Amino acid sequence: NRLGLGTNRITDTPEARALLQRAVELGVNFIDTAYRYTGGVSETTIGNTLAPYSTGLVVATKGGWSETRPDEMRGLLEESLRRLQTDCIDLYQLHRVNPDVPIEDSVNMLKQFQDEGKICHIGLSEVNVEQLERAQKVATIVSVQNEYNVAVRKHETLVDYCTAHGIIF
């Protein structure tokens, strides 16, 4: 579906669990979270509420931040897998690019996770066209998640690039 549920503020409360359950009942089939959201509690709440996941429900999470080195990403992924109560994450996105590390190195680590069967698809968050092009030389990038709304339109060129290349934005 074109609409998903962002869970940046979800905590493990009865109300949050009811919200997640109701969203899925209403046909929401994309849940977005990140290891940083509410200190990992967002992922834990999703896992406690929805695991095992129904067929067709895509749970996406993000790992890595602007100071994260590729060798630190495995620990973040393993924590997300545990909190989400799954062996494989549908869509794992690099949350932020570390400016001190070539994006190719970070994406190569994500590609290793994919090859190991720990993630199905690779996405990026808060990137530009040049970074996306470099990342695509290492792995298939299926999605980009940048801030984009009525007020923030600075990524128009990236939206056009993604549209032209069949990448979800």
Catalytic residues: 37
Helix-helix angle 103-115:129-136, to 10 degrees: 40
**CA diameter of the chain:** 44
Residue of 69, 131, 141, 137 whose CA lies nearest to 98: 69
User: What stretches of the chain show up as alpha helix (H) in DSSP?
Assistant: 14-25, 41-50, 70-84, 103-115, 129-136, 156-165
Other beta carbons less than 10 A from residue 117's beta carbon: 9
C-alpha span between 24 and 5 (Å, rounded): 9
Asked whether 49 and 23 are in contact (CB, 8 A), the reply is: no
Residue of 123, 114, 103 whose CA lies nearest to 168: 123
